[in-house]
Amino acid sequence: MITPAQCRAARALLDWSREQLATAARIGLRTLVDFERGARDPHHATLEAIERALGEAGVTTDLSKGNGLGVRLIGVDPALQEHVE
């Protein structure tokens, strides 16, 4: 599952605000803010929604062949970026 640091890094790769990610993931902004600050451990479904939204925008957190945690931009669909801005 995605970590708060990975979430912040993924947003930076996409140049997305918290509002944009919350909208794309269909979760509450406060939930995302608290997660990224480490103040809340969201439900599994919420973390999946965050990962799904980031994945649809071209970011992966699956770095199983590498060492440690991170994020990678694998491609960006411009149509997906437009609908959350």
What is the tens place of the pLDDT at every residue in 3-51?
999 999 999 999 999 999 999 999 999 999 999 999 999 999 999 999 9
Domains in the chain, CATH or no CATH each: 4-84 (1.10.260.40)
What pTM was computed for the model?
A: 0.80
What is the pLDDT, as a whole number, of residue 85?
Answer: 42
Contacts for 36-39 with beta carbons within 8 Å, 24 or more apart?
36/4, 36/7, 36/8, 37/4, 38/4
Question: 51 vs 12, 15, 33, 60, CA distance in Å?
Answer: 14, 16, 15, 8
